Amino acid sequence: MTRKIAVLPGDGIGPEVIAEAVKVLERLRRDFGLKIEMETEPVGGTAYDLHHHPLPVATLRLAEAADAVLLGAVGGVKWDMLPRELRPEKALLGLRSDLKLFANLRPAILYPQLASASTLKPEVVAGLDLLIVRELTGDIYFGEPRGVRTLANGERQGFNTMVYAEHEVERVARVAFDAARKRRKKLCSVEKANVLETSGLWREVVIRVAGDYPDVELSHMYVDNAAMQLVRAPKQFDVIVTGNIFGDILSDEAAMLTGSIGMLPSASLDSANKGMYEPIHGSAPDIAGKGIANPLATILSAGMMLRYTLNEPTLADRIERAVSKVLDQGLRTGDIHTEGTKKVGTAEMGNAVAAALEK
């Protein structure tokens, strides 16, 4: 059965890094029996420029019809002045909510070859392997009411609503418990239950779900402390489960532990494991078009796609091994370059990974 992949390159370095992931997938198709077809549509600012909307109907339909979505990145200063509804970021949020991708998996793994690229001491991060499970379709990102209103005194007031229903917490908690079960069996739920009612309910629900996972050790942590612990002693964590906004912040922090945000893939899954896969770095407009962006996060995202949605664990392993091999060969894009390694561009890195698939 041939599976359909919606390829949405997006903005900034998106098209450059997607091209390399596509190269790797093409090689798997040609040489390793992967049965996929890929179709591309614009998304984000690029789509706005072409069709006056960041998430055109054709793009959304393709994403809906596909078995999986591979996305580059969206956004750029060029579109920052647009009304919020038309901004590139809106496409991402629209895809997440339309496709009901409530569980966002953001692994932070430190490749031993990159230990010196981290800004933290090697002994703090060596061997780091944690997974953040971020709720992705609820919370203050989507909560109503929201807006900017004018008060009686004429002053304007902005407002958003942090909201979680029990079923939203329960389903993402189950994804996190299931993931922990396949790892080191430790789950830390992060919220702000000392201040927020939403977080109090979150904690209650997580504790209830824990009843079905007696083999997983559950702990709770306030988000401010979690932010601190992530840089103090990150290896204490196995799986972290948290809400949308806290997960947004903590996953960027966790990314930096690994040396570069340019290394980290992500998966956003619905209840049937259909997924959207994207690097967690953004569109990086400052380096776009220069051919120097790190394509490894996108290539690893394609790997996650093979693992979680396409059920091709052997091919996913093959991608991960290939990435490790090119790092062993000393190849580095600028973001992870250190003395004694060889600086390469985006395409050169992609070619090296594609070649390393063979071994």
Point out which residues bind ligand IPM (CB under 6 A). Answer: 75, 89, 92, 248
Question: Can you name the residues that pair with 134 across neighbouring β-strands?
Answer: 104, 242
Minimum distance of ligand IPM from residue 311's CB (angstroms)? 25
Choose, from 31, 98, 212, 224, the residue flagged as catalytic: 224
For 161-174, letters b (16+ CB in 10 Å) and e give ebebeeebbebbbb
Pairing verdict, β 186-191 and 3-10: unpaired
Contact in structure between 333 and 343 (CB atoms under 8 Å): yes
**Phi then psi dihedrals of residue 245, to 5 deg:** -75, -40
Residues listed for the chain: 359
224 a catalytic residue: yes
335 a catalytic residue: no
Minimum distance of ligand IPM from residue 54's CB (angstroms)? 11
- Nearest to ligand IPM of 246, 308 (CB atom): 246
C-alpha distance from residue 271 to each of 179, 268, 308 (Å): 14, 10, 12
308 a catalytic residue: no
Which 3 state secondary structure label does DSSP give 310?
A: coil
Minimum distance of ligand IPM from residue 106's CB (angstroms)? 8
Choose, from 48, 141, 213, 277, the residue flagged as catalytic: 141
- Is 248 an interacting residue with respect to Mg ion (CB under 5 A)? yes
Minimum distance of ligand IPM from residue 248's CB (angstroms)? 5
- Nearest to Mg ion of 113, 137 (CB atom): 137
Minimum distance of ligand IPM from residue 104's CB (angstroms)? 8
CA distance 2 to 334: 37
- Nearest to ligand IPM of 92, 172 (CB atom): 92
317 a catalytic residue: no
Alpha helices in 33-152 (DSSP H): 45-51, 57-65, 88-98, 122-125
Residue 89 contact partner, candidates ligand IPM, Mg ion, none, CB within 5 to 8 A by sort of partner: ligand IPM
Minimum distance of Mg ion from residue 13's CB (angstroms)? 16
Choose, from 11, 67, 238, 248, the residue flagged as catalytic: 248
Residue 92 contact partner, candidates ligand IPM, Mg ion, none, CB within 5 to 8 A by sort of partner: ligand IPM
- Nearest to ligand IPM of 75, 138 (CB atom): 75
CA 329, chain centre distance (Å): 26
213 a catalytic residue: no
Choose, from 192, 274, 277, 335, the residue flagged as catalytic: 192
| Among the residue ranges 63-71, 87-95, 129-137, 248-256, the one whose residues contact Mg ion (CB under 5 A) | 248-256
CA distance 350 to 294: 9
- Nearest to Mg ion of 20, 248 (CB atom): 248
Residue 120 contact partner, candidates Mg ion, ligand IPM, none, CB within 5 to 8 A by sort of partner: none
- Nearest to ligand IPM of 41, 248 (CB atom): 248
Contact in structure between 191 and 242 (CB atoms under 8 Å): yes
Cβ-proximal residues to 26 (8 Å cutoff; 6+ apart), any chain:
none
Contact in structure between 352 and 276 (CB atoms under 8 Å): no
| Among the residue ranges 2-10, 60-68, 148-156, 241-249, the one whose residues contact Mg ion (CB under 5 A) | 241-249
CA distance 214 to 212: 6
* Binding positions for Mg ion, rule: CB under 5 A: 248
Which active-site residues does the annotation give?
A: 141, 192, 224, 248, 252
